Amino acid sequence: MRALDFAMRLAFFAIVPFLATWVSALFPMTAVLVNVALTLAIFATAEAIRERAGRSPLLARVVRRHLAFEEHYREHPPGPFLFYVFYPILLPYVLFRAQTRRELWLYRGFTGGGLTVLIAAAGIDFWRSWLPNLGFRDFIVTWVLLFAVQTLCIFLFLLPIATTVVKLHAERRFKALWILFAVATLSVTVAVVAIDQRRGHLVSWVATQRVRLRSKAAPAAARAAELQALRVVWANAPELRESVDKDGWVEGDALDRAEEQLATFFKPDEAYAFSLHALPPGAPEVLVLQCDLGKGPPVWRALRRSGAEITNISEIPRGVLGLARRQTVRPPKKRTSGWRNVK
Distances in whole angstroms, Cα of residue 320 to Cα of each of 286, 326, 343:
11, 12, 8
Contact 314, 337 (CB under 8 A): no
The full set of domain ranges for the chain reads 2-197, 205-315
Per-residue burial over 323-343, b = 16 or more CB atoms within 10 Å of its CB, e = otherwise: bebeeeeebbeebeeeebebe
Beta bridge partners of 289: 276, 301
Residue-level pLDDT at 270: 94
Residue-level pLDDT at 340: 35
pTM recorded for the entire structure: 0.71
Burial class (CB in 10 A: 0-12, 13-18, 19+), 67: middle
Residue-level pLDDT at 181: 86
3-state DSSP assignment of residue 250: strand
Backbone conformation region of residue 13, classed left if phi is above 0, alpha if psi is from -120 to 50, else beta:
alpha
d(CA 204, CA 223): 22
Residue-level pLDDT at 307: 94
Beta bridge partners of 300: 290
Residue-level pLDDT at 62: 66
Contact 240, 233 (CB under 8 A): yes
d(CA 199, CA 70): 44
Altogether, the residues listed in the chain come to a count of 343
d(CA 177, CA 43): 11
Per-residue burial over 99-130, b = 16 or more CB atoms within 10 Å of its CB, e = otherwise: ebeebbeebeebbebbeebbeebbeebbeebb
d(CA 328, CA 332): 10
Contact 342, 301 (CB under 8 A): no
Beta bridge partners of 275: 290
Residue-level pLDDT at 230: 97
Residues of the chain with pLDDT under 50: 111-112, 329-343
3-state DSSP assignment of residue 276: strand
